[in-house]
Amino acid sequence: WISDSLHEETGGTHPLYGHGVCKWPGCESICDDFGQFLKHLNNEHALDDRSTAQCRVQMQVVQQLEIQLSKERERLQAMMAHLHMRPSEPKSSPKPLNLVSSVTMSKNLPSTSPPNLPQTPTTPTAPITPMAAMPQVPSVLGGANVPSMGAMRRRHSDKYSMSLSSEIAPNYEFYKNADVRPPFTYATLIRQAIMDSADMQLTLNEIYSWFTRTFAYFRRNAATWKNAVRHNLSLHKCFVRVENVKGAVWTVDEMEYQKRRSQKITGSPSLVKNLPSSLGYGTALNASSPPGTMSGSPPTLMHMTHDELNGSLDHLDTNGHSSPGYSPPVHMPSVHVKEEPLNMDDDDCPMSLVTTANHSPELDDDRELEEGNLSEDLE
DNA sequence: ACTTGAGTAAACACTG
DNA sequence: CCAGTGTTTACTCAAG
Q: What is the pLDDT, as a whole number, of residue A252?
A: 93
Reported as a single tens digit per residue, the pLDDT across A143-162 is 333 333 333 334 443 444 34
Is residue A349 exposed (0-12), middle (13-18) or buried (19+ Cβ within 10 Å)? buried
CA of A316, C1' of B1: distance in angstroms: 40
User: Residues in chain A, how many?
Assistant: 379
Reported as a single tens digit per residue, the pLDDT across A330-358 is 333 333 333 333 333 333 333 333 333 33
Phi, psi (rounded to 5 degrees) for A18: -170, 145
Strand B positions closer than 7 A to protein CB: 5-11
Measuring from the CA of residue A183 to each C1', which nucleotide is nearest? Answer: B6
CA of A155, C1' of B5: distance in angstroms: 7
Reported as a single tens digit per residue, the pLDDT across A178-234 is 888 888 999 999 999 999 998 899 999 999 999 999 999 999 889 999 999 999 999
Which protein residues have any CB–strand B distance under 7 A? A 153-155, 158, 184-187, 221, 223-225, 227-228, 230-232, 263-264, 378-379
Q: What is the pLDDT, as a whole number, of residue A79?
A: 66
Q: What is the pLDDT, as a whole number, of residue A311?
A: 32
Measuring from the CA of residue A156 to each C1', which nucleotide is nearest? Answer: C15
Reported as a single tens digit per residue, the pLDDT across A258-313 is 887 776 554 433 333 333 333 333 333 333 333 333 333 333 333 333 333 333 33
CA of A204, C1' of C4: distance in angstroms: 10
Is residue A129 exposed (0-12), middle (13-18) or buried (19+ Cβ within 10 Å)? buried
- With a cut of 50, say whether residue A113 has pLDDT above it: no
- Give Cβ neighbours of residue A139 (< 8 Å, ≥ 6 apart): none
Distance CA A295, CA A288 (A): 8
CA of A370, C1' of C10: distance in angstroms: 32
Which protein residues have any CB–strand C distance under 7 A? A 152, 154-156, 203-205, 208, 227, 230-231, 233-235, 241, 247-248, 250, 267
Amino acid at A202: L
CA of A346, C1' of C3: distance in angstroms: 18
Please spell the DSSP secondary structure of A225-238, one letter per residue: HHHHHHHHHHH-TT
End-to-end CA distance of chain A: 40
